[in-house]
Structure 1
Amino acid sequence: MAKLWGSRFKGSTDQLADQFSFSISYDYRLAIYDVIGSIAHTRMLAKCKIITQKDAKEMIVGLKKIGNKIEAGKFKYDETAEDIHSNIQSALKKEIGSAADKLHTARSRNDLIVLDMKLYCLFESIQMIELIINLQKAIVKFSDKHQDVIIPAYTHLQAAQVVLLSHHMLAYVEMLERDKERLMDAFARTDSMPLGSCALSGTSLPIDRNFVSKELGFMTTAQNSIDAVSDRDFIVEALSATSIMGMHFSRISEDFIIWATTEFNFIKIDWALCTGSSIMPHKKNPDILELIRGESATLISNLNKILILTKGLPLTYNRDLQLDKPPLFESIEKTKMILSLLTKLFQSLKVNKPSIEARIHNESLFSVDIMEYLIKKGVSYRDAHDTVGKIIRECTDKGIAIAELSKKELQQYSKKFDLDVKILLNPQMSVKIKKSLGSTNPTLVKKQIESWKKSL
């Protein structure tokens, strides 16, 4: 295929160099956006009388035919094309003839690729936001179903206090809400139309860039042509959002991998989301969750790739920027797949209540409740902490339960103790007495569930 810039060169480029530099193998994903942008650009050229209405009509009809083939999966990409822009241009010329030669008027591949990438990011951001909402809904539904379940919560992977399982689940919903907000923030800064910046300095032709912005639905038009063709901030922001999301995916996965072990046995993951062992017939491995945890490294590394790729580039366009696409495509595609898989996970997840119940009666889990019992009776935090620490240490060493201590024995530790402190030594009371906003109190958690139901 003839190159868009070939007239300057006396001979053909080296075949290996072409193989090394061509991007059609991955930027074909931008085909539909290239067509959409080209239709808007053609309308503008005709409006500004740079091309005739007759030529514009032919070009738009041809571009729409190509777009229909792309959306139907019937467009045949040309592996000899340097990039998707060249492929679309060539396909249009085959479709309508010489009028296609006017398509590239008042634009460059430098501004065109930024347009295509921005349209892609805007569309995919909406897709990811919808998938996040689906996952949040699945988690809220799971939380609503298991409002009565109390679990041990952990710090340093050591049992710390008891909380409602639904409270723990809503922490995931909060994480995902911030992920959604980051995508929306990035969307706003991506929503600026670059086409018409041309190679870097604009054009002497009387184009109307704001018209193109309106045609394509952009909120604003890029105000600096140099920045417009060299800007990749929007890709960095998209990858930053997906990498933070990946970190959240990994933490959710890690919780469930641990909870699904024989040692914990808190949950049962659906067989459809597990695999077995080639040698151990008994195994049920949470491989999908392990791979999600592993793919978080991919999402984070793709952000690093773009930051390293762009950090030393002089203004404006450099061919290095061609390599911004594979990390972006990979991260977005993996993020969408993971969001869908996690939604399936929550929709099918089972809770092993007897196993959890056996873990939530360790009296150490109520140490803070006992400490706050003393604080309410006027004991300082420091003294209350030391007193409860001493009780737990001595009871543990002697192999006796706090519940077995008499009033006299309790008051050896503090005169403020009475037998009513024993009311606190059960998980239901522990969650019930919490009062602070955002705490694990059942009434407050129920309100949060209802609030999420309404907002999602």
Structure 2
Amino acid sequence: MALWGGRFERGVDAFTQEFGASLEVDKAMAAQDVVGSRAHARMLAEQGIISLEDQAAIDSGLEKIAAQIADGTFAWDVNDEDVHMAIERALTANIGTPGARLHTGRSRNDQVATDIRLLAKDLCARLMDENRALRRALVDVAEKNLDVVMPGYTHLQHAQPVLLSHHLLAYFWMFTRDFARLSAARDAADANPLGAAALAGTTYPLDRARTTELLGFSRTIPNSLDAVSDRDYLLDLEYACSVSMMHLSRLCEEIVLWSSTEFGFIILSDSYSTGSSIMPQKKNPDFAELTRGKTGRVYGELMALLTTMKSLPLAYNKDLQECKEGPLDAVRTLSDCMEIAAGMIETMTVNVDAMSAQAGRGFTAATDVADYLAKKGMPFREAHRVVGELVLACERRGCGLGDLSVDDFRAASPLFDEDVAADLDPAGIANARVTYGGTGHDAVVAQLAEATAALAADEGREA
């Protein structure tokens, strides 16, 4: 018979027991359950609700259980429906009556909510560590390839030359925003529901501020109904995971493209590639593709929890049992994918010549040639038309702007002079853009300093 079975004449059958159980998923927060119970018992003793002797026995018993869980020797009972019951049953079996007093003034509802919030804080801290590692990798590779020129794209068409370092730093700032989202999700979870009991609070003289202090929460939830039914912080976590996976997917899509024969911009390390069972020449970017593919499952976890929560009346409902597996999977997936992405970035070989050669193709100098005319006094819209006609002429002749003579340029506009050649060099075009946030060498050096400072600030933040 279950620990709650006093009101029932018989237990549930085997299938309904299995259907309603959550033990396998709950094991992920076993350590948090022990921490929460030890704090609750200490507060009960300080309030005179249980004796100091009972509290000492409970604390010692829970400490031993925590050690058994950590080293894998704890005996899980398949008949226990969740981790909370499993630990309480083992504690009572080990220390007797004091173990049965642990649940005084507490419901599984506030116990579960406490455990999940503690777990969510730990999960956020783990992801914040992985995020920092990925951003360090991006900064390191950007610094090592500071002046490598590549084509920038819009619509996946050659647009204007940029520095590879500038391109990589764009992802750095995406992941910096992801860090802020993860930090916000951690802050959302950082509130104590313990003491709310089932839904209405309790008649015992609990000191909720004390358990808030003991458990390291920043604040105590002021409404008992909200305390046991809120899972917004898990939605915040899953949203943060989803956005970060989207950014990873974009990065991995570029890695797939860049490592292709058509681009040839990078060569992935053997450690982050696979081969073909039939084609001996193949070197496939499988791990970039897998990361791209796993984005969908993380999106799905967010939508699943939103759907679970959308119609729940206050306060606790069994539906909330479904709120744990999704965030755990989302966090595990994101953590793995960030580690994979960092490894790919750190170990890839940059084909500088291929990037530089492509930076000058596709009329990437066209905007600068139009700017040349505008700086000579021609209205930009007219300059745009003149250069567009030059591009069309080049396409018909099968050449680029760099293949035109000064006379060809002067035929299009007398404002052109020999110095137009300076506006056709991809490196010069990129490095001329020195405004804040631009792709020029000096601007990127300043941006790297700002990125390094931002990373240092986040590394100094509590996780």
TM-score class, shorter: over 0.9
Q: Does 1:119 align with 2:122?
A: no
Q: Please report how far the alpha carbon of residue 138 of structure 1 lies from its aligned counterpart in structure 2 after TM superposition.
A: 0.9
Amino acid at match of 2:135: Q
Q: Residues of 1 paired with 2:178 and 2:20: CA distance?
A: 35
Tell me how many residue pairs correspond in the alignment.
Answer: 455
Q: Residues of 1 paired with 2:193 and 2:400: CA distance?
A: 71
Q: Does 1:160 align with 2:149?
A: no
Q: Please report how far the alpha carbon of residue 347 of structure 1 lies from its aligned counterpart in structure 2 after TM superposition.
A: 1.8
Superposed counterparts of 1:30-109, under 5 Å: 30-109=29-108
Q: Please report how far the alpha carbon of residue 407 of structure 1 lies from its aligned counterpart in structure 2 after TM superposition.
A: 4.1
Q: Residues of 2 paired with 1:238 and 1:413: CA distance?
A: 58
Q: What's the CA shift string for 1:116-161, capped at 9, x where partnerless? A: 1100110111111111111111111111111121111111111111
Asked if 2 retains the 8 angstrom alpha-carbon contact of 1:363 and 1:425, the reply is no
Q: 1:349 to 1:182 in 2, by over 3 A?
A: same
Q: Equivalent residue of 1:152, what SS?
A: strand
Q: Percent identity?
A: 38
Q: Residues of 1 paired with 2:449 and 2:435: CA distance?
A: 18
Q: Residues of 2 paired with 1:266 and 1:405: CA distance?
A: 27
TM-score normalised per structure 1: 0.97
Computed over aligned residues only, the root mean square deviation of the Cα atoms, in angstroms, reads 1.3
Q: Does 1:244 align with 2:253?
A: no
Amino acid at match of 2:82: D
Q: Residues of 1 paired with 2:399 and 2:253: CA distance?
A: 35
Q: Equivalent residue of 1:284, what SS?
A: coil
Q: What's the CA shift string for 1:35-57, capped at 9, x where partnerless? A: 00000000010011111111011
Asked if 1 retains the 8 angstrom alpha-carbon contact of 2:161 and 2:360, the reply is no
Q: Residues of 2 paired with 1:365 and 1:406: CA distance?
A: 18
Q: Name the residue aligned to 1:373.
A: 372
Q: Residues of 1 paired with 2:403 and 2:59: CA distance?
A: 85
Runs of 5+ in structure 2 lacking a partner? 456-463
Q: Equivalent residue of 2:365, what SS?
A: helix
Q: Please report how far the alpha carbon of residue 443 of structure 1 lies from its aligned counterpart in structure 2 after TM superposition.
A: 1.0
Q: Name the residue aligned to 1:231.
A: 230
Q: Equivalent residue of 1:151, what SS?
A: strand
Superposed counterparts of 1:166-205, under 5 Å: 166-205=165-204
Q: What's the CA shift string for 1:3-44, capped at 9, x where partnerless? A: 221101001111110111100011111100000000000001
Q: 1:409 to 1:282 in 2, by over 3 A?
A: closer
Asked if 1 retains the 8 angstrom alpha-carbon contact of 2:142 and 2:165, the reply is yes
Q: What's the CA shift string for 1:292-318, capped at 9, x where partnerless? A: 000011111100000011101111111
Q: Residues of 2 paired with 1:84 and 1:409: CA distance?
A: 79
Asked if 1 retains the 8 angstrom alpha-carbon contact of 2:150 and 2:356, the reply is yes
Q: Residues of 1 paired with 2:254 and 2:403: CA distance?
A: 34
Q: Residues of 2 paired with 1:210 and 1:401: CA distance?
A: 72
Q: Name the residue aligned to 2:278.
A: 279
Asked if 2 retains the 8 angstrom alpha-carbon contact of 1:246 and 1:299, the reply is yes
Q: Please report how far the alpha carbon of residue 340 of structure 1 lies from its aligned counterpart in structure 2 after TM superposition.
A: 1.3
Q: Residues of 1 paired with 2:399 and 2:241: CA distance?
A: 50
Amino acid at match of 1:217: G
Amino acid at match of 2:396: D
Q: Name the residue aligned to 2:144.
A: 145
Q: Please report how far the alpha carbon of residue 409 of structure 1 lies from its aligned counterpart in structure 2 after TM superposition.
A: 3.5
Q: Name the residue aligned to 1:331.
A: 330
Q: Residues of 2 paired with 1:224 and 1:4: CA distance?
A: 27
Amino acid at match of 1:449: L
Q: Equivalent residue of 1:365, what SS?
A: coil
Q: Residues of 2 paired with 1:307 and 1:340: CA distance?
A: 28
Asked if 1 retains the 8 angstrom alpha-carbon contact of 2:2 and 2:11, the reply is no
Q: Name the residue aligned to 2:409.
A: 410
Q: Equivalent residue of 1:162, what SS?
A: strand
Q: What's the CA shift string for 1:241-269, capped at 9, x where partnerless? A: 00001101100100000111111111011
Q: Residues of 2 paired with 1:407 and 1:351: CA distance?
A: 35
Q: Residues of 2 paired with 1:437 and 1:344: CA distance?
A: 30
Q: Residues of 2 paired with 1:331 and 1:353: CA distance?
A: 36
Q: 1:269 to 1:401 in 2, by over 3 A?
A: closer
Q: Please report how far the alpha carbon of residue 363 of structure 1 lies from its aligned counterpart in structure 2 after TM superposition.
A: 6.2
Asked if 1 retains the 8 angstrom alpha-carbon contact of 2:110 and 2:227, the reply is yes
Q: Does 1:20 align with 2:22?
A: no
Asked if 2 retains the 8 angstrom alpha-carbon contact of 1:115 and 1:193, the reply is yes
Asked if 1 retains the 8 angstrom alpha-carbon contact of 2:434 and 2:441, the reply is no
Q: Residues of 1 paired with 2:434 and 2:374: CA distance?
A: 15
Q: What's the CA shift string for 1:340-384, capped at 9, x where partnerless? A: 111211221111122223212226101111111122222222112
Asked if 1 retains the 8 angstrom alpha-carbon contact of 2:268 and 2:285, the reply is yes
Q: Does 1:348 align with 2:347?
A: yes
Q: 1:335 to 1:108 in 2, by over 3 A?
A: same
Q: What's the CA shift string for 1:67-121, capped at 9, x where partnerless? A: 1222223323222211000001011112211111111111111111111110011
Deviates more, 1:150-159 or 1:409-418: 409-418
Amino acid at match of 1:166: S
Q: Name the residue aligned to 2:386.
A: 387
Q: Residues of 2 paired with 1:36 and 1:234: CA distance?
A: 20
Deviates more, 1:208-217 or 1:445-454: 445-454
Q: Please report how far the alpha carbon of residue 452 of structure 1 lies from its aligned counterpart in structure 2 after TM superposition.
A: 2.5
Asked if 1 retains the 8 angstrom alpha-carbon contact of 2:117 and 2:189, the reply is yes
Q: 1:415 to 1:75 in 2, by over 3 A?
A: same
Asked if 2 retains the 8 angstrom alpha-carbon contact of 1:395 and 1:402, the reply is yes
Q: Name the residue aligned to 2:221.
A: 222
Q: Residues of 1 paired with 2:275 and 2:110: CA distance?
A: 50
Q: Equivalent residue of 1:223, what SS?
A: coil
Q: Name the residue aligned to 1:434.
A: 433
